[in-house]
Structure 1
Amino acid sequence: MTTRDDEMWVSVIRLHARVEHDLAAALQRHGLGLSEYRALCHLSTTENGELRMQELAELLGLNQSSVTRLVARLEKAGLTRRDLCADDRRGVYTVITDEGRARKAGASDTYEQTLTATLDRTAGELGLEAALEELRRSVDMAN
């Protein structure tokens, strides 16, 4: 027998999966994967446009080898570059380039529109409209 909480959690997981799928498909039109886009977002909001590789891994929820491969793809595309830490030569930063900022900016509207449309449509299909509205209210209050 499933509980109410279990049914709710399965619905949340289905919502998450649908949103991630739609976002990934939309970002492909901009030549970006979802993790690549999110990495560019994190980098673009830092003061110097750079993060230590370990910091980026933590922000993205990736392990070290996955973030290394991700950054290699971004570098190959000219969207980031690596830089050594001046204080600790073992530390490696990834730095967003002007091209990376432009690609991120060009994909942002697509990301936002797809996110909102998919959340609205899928939450309705799964009966999660009230939960979505409550989440939106809590984010508005926090800001």
Structure 2
Amino acid sequence: MWSRLSALHAHVEGRLATALQRRHGLGLSEYRALGFLAEAPRGELRMQDLAAGLGLNQSSVTRLVARLHAADFTYRDSCPDDRRGVYTVITAVGRARHQEARATYEETLTAALDEEVAAAPDLAPLLGTARGSLG
């Protein structure tokens, strides 16, 4: 069962990544980073918190944030209490891009899960739970 779930995850992630890149010029990690930032208080997260949420190491999240910054989706801010701390803050442009891409993400995810249920009806209860968590 674990192998099936792993393959399902890889397939769905691939579809999401392709759709987001083609329609919005965003990578999947970039989309998710913008989502975490959009939901964060004041639209900001410390770099290590963003890395933990995305499941990325510090080096990878630094490169990701550099891409977001270059696209004007985020900016960096220093922590007033700890000058060593760096925050990543979402911009209005970043919020708008995330909001535009959200419908694509949800439509693609729903379609991919529907196809998987059709191909593997025994996974329907599990995939139904996943589908219910979209909102």
Give the structure-1-normalised TM-score: 0.87
Stretches of structure 2 lacking an aligned partner (at least 5 in a row) = none
Change in 2 beyond 3 A, CA 1:134/1:88: closer
Distance in 1 between residues matched to 2:63 and 2:8, nearest whole Å: 28
- Cα deviation for residue 72 of structure 1 reads 0.2
- Cα deviation for residue 70 of structure 1 reads 0.2
Which of 111, 121, 134 is the aligned partner of 1:117? Answer: 111
State the percentage of identical aligned residues.
61
- Cα deviation for residue 134 of structure 1 reads 4.7
Distance in 2 between residues matched to 1:133 and 1:125, nearest whole Å: 14
Question: In the comparison of the two structures, how many residue pairs are matched?
Answer: 133
- Cα deviation for residue 136 of structure 1 reads 5.1
Give the structure-2-normalised TM-score: 0.92
Change in 2 beyond 3 A, CA 1:35/1:135: closer
Where in structure 1 do 4 or more consecutive aligned residues deviate above 2 Å? 133-137
- Give the conservation status (yes or no) of the 8 Å contact 2:113–2:131: no
Larger radius of gyration: 1
Which of 57, 68, 88 is the aligned partner of 1:63? Answer: 57
Alignment partner, residue 128 of structure 2: 133
Distance in 2 between residues matched to 1:124 and 1:10, nearest whole Å: 18
Distance in 2 between residues matched to 1:135 and 1:80, nearest whole Å: 29
Distance in 2 between residues matched to 1:84 and 1:68, nearest whole Å: 15
Cα-Cα RMSD: 1.7
Distance in 1 between residues matched to 2:33 and 2:45, nearest whole Å: 10
Distance in 2 between residues matched to 1:57 and 1:88, nearest whole Å: 18
